[in-house]
A and B are shown apart, each in its own frame.
Chain A
């Protein structure tokens, strides 16, 4: 039994923290909110992060990776979460799949560019009729000579407005069962026929609708086998979930709440001495520690290269709900001032909790809704009967 990381891993953590503290500027954060991974400042950060050796840590050396254990990848994600670094799905969700299933051509063509930060991918999965029921997706890919021709629409393709490529799921075989007739492609967002329409989101950022009108993608841009796209997408999501939802951010925000309570005074007495405040924050701190335990459970399986899906689902549900509670509690403890936005006079803590309350709404929904996570636990962990 060991709940700690080793000395080298701790050194790496300090290294990552220092890099991120020095390089995540307010401009970068603004870019992150607006475009997630894309945007000029975020791009600059990505390329610096790549040079500093923060990404692709577990990949084979022949593809520019460092073949380090998954603990390093987790630590980098955790520190990134703490300091609100961009999510970098190109590395977390796409590159590994490319390494495992992509053709030699695709690996040669795209991996170096991804690994250097020159090219980034956005995720083109969801559609208006295909959210949790992703297998219901309809975007068609029809064979035509050396190409597939794409027609249809994607929604929630975050960062499509800012990056170079899209990691796209399209239906190649409508006669197959839904989840077996889908293939995965790498598509150049500059291709003729692609229209990106912004969808502003409640946190001041944006995601996008993307329309595909007779868009040609070369056949060799299919990742892996035809008809296996759904499987590739699901397994990537399941094995990377713990990275996307690392507990570092909840911890950092809790620290902010504690700092606020200590610094703020009512009638000359720090708010941190109020029993109601102490009770509320102590509970949140206890829950953050519990979340860390669920995370340790995931990691203990990942580090042994064992299936960790169920534990990752538990961690995701617990962590996202906890974050929402942290921001809601923070705003409540601030009373009337909790509602003020960052640009308002008298706003406490730079309006962080008000903003995070708006940002965190999507986390219990995206990356597999919490309800779907509960279904996964029921089915694969508890073996409950399915209708």
Chain B
């Protein structure tokens, strides 16, 4: 990855403009010729360098343990040449600028694609910002850029040294470089090395905020009574006892079953336990593990599709002195993390705020807009 990358002003501004103003808390996108507002250097929608030297990387992928809150900032920090300790992560809002680079017009995390598909634009953002910081120092010292170099969060040159924080405002006013060379692999200081994860400290101290930890004044906890089999429907329910449980504020029929809203988890669970629901189990009611195993065993006896043919397995097996046959049976494994699925919703007349752990923000946002009748921008 060592060819210079062309970065026209039009691409730069276009990317920045796509981050709808007002949707991002604390984000000021470029205005005018340079890449900045005020004293913060902004390099597209993914990177800001503040006057305090803090490097904020906006990450458009969901951290699920796979490490993108560390690996994606590493791509930026490598080319930016900043001190790793000055880097912090800001989760991206839902906006087209943050859409998946190859999965169509949606913001989504999956398929082991994050590092691969974000490599180019994150590296570019870091490299562009580095060039602007070097140019700012050269300007301040009135020397050629070639006599300056960026290293670990400072620019060194004939005038001495200036930190990125000291240079941010001046860099912010500079034009975007058209050609931005990326480092040679031999020049990497971070990539390919073990670097402390940015999220570990919060995770071991219990400070890390998971979806289920979100709290707000007056928030209710809702638990749903779900059917014992997939696809079953509520035939009838009696919520008289549930409504009498202290703390229960409402009981509602919902597509998934019957929902109990209460003050706190304990009251919600007691309310749910007090429900009497009659289910229409439908076809799923007739399924059983035994029956499914029987069906699979029958299917297994059918000839399979040939994926690859090498040698003569059938012939060798037929002539073998000893043949071993075995049936292997594995239980159903739910594709589920330790955190129970959950979602925080604050729904008002003209807006809806959702806080949840999700891999598909755009899909969630669009679904919420459909359900509430709000415009997408209001979610």
A binds B: no
